[in-house]
Amino acid sequence: MHRPTLPAGNRQLVQIVDAALADATRRSGSWLVCRPGCTQCCIGVFAISQLDALRLENGLAELETTDPGRAARVRARANESVARLTPDYPGNPKTGTLDPRSEEHFDNFANDEPCPALDPTTGTCDLYASRPVACRAFGPPVRSEGGLGVCELCFHGATEQQIAACEMEVDPDDLESKILLEIEQRSQLTGDTIVAFALAER
């Protein structure tokens, strides 16, 4: 399989996000209960950027070299997921691009669908090193338009002030937007997609 070329800034973005996660994890202490085998954040589809999609494709291509059997299982799960999701997909099912006008439909779409990268036997991610930014930031408190959100399994017993003190700043300089612009200019790839379409056979 051809390994997609990742933009030069991807490595820096991953380092920034992972450092922010490590810092938030340290401040969160025992309130953060994320661990291998917990799949709370691996069930239900969510939007990923074209950079996330390229990173996942790159990770799967690398896995095909190091562990072809595991890579084939990831690909098969992605193909099966796409087949299930295509009839009601809130976007273009040929390209996998989500329709930005279908936000309300997407909110109620495939909330029980497991991520194709999730190994159902071990409960761990087969593409962990290549996972999307949303996966890297799930668990600690992260600010969005709706306020400060946390995983529903974490921060039980913490006050609002204690939660706020553990906030994770995911990408403070918005490096991801700059990289996405570069991707769009270079390859015309634009718009969000989902993990299954990034990993399915084209």
Q: Can you give the residue ranges of every domain in the chain?
A: 9-199
Per-residue model confidence (pLDDT) at position 56: 97
Per-residue model confidence (pLDDT) at position 144: 85
Mean pLDDT of 18-35: 95
Out of 22-26, 66-70, 148-152, least confident range:
148-152
How far apart CA 159 and CA 177 sit, in angstroms, is 33
Q: What is the pTM of this model?
A: 0.92
> Count of CB atoms within 10 A of residue 171's CB?
14
180 Cβ neighbours under 8 A, 6+ residues apart: 49, 50, 51
How far apart CA 108 and CA 44 sit, in angstroms, is 10
Per-residue model confidence (pLDDT) at position 105: 81
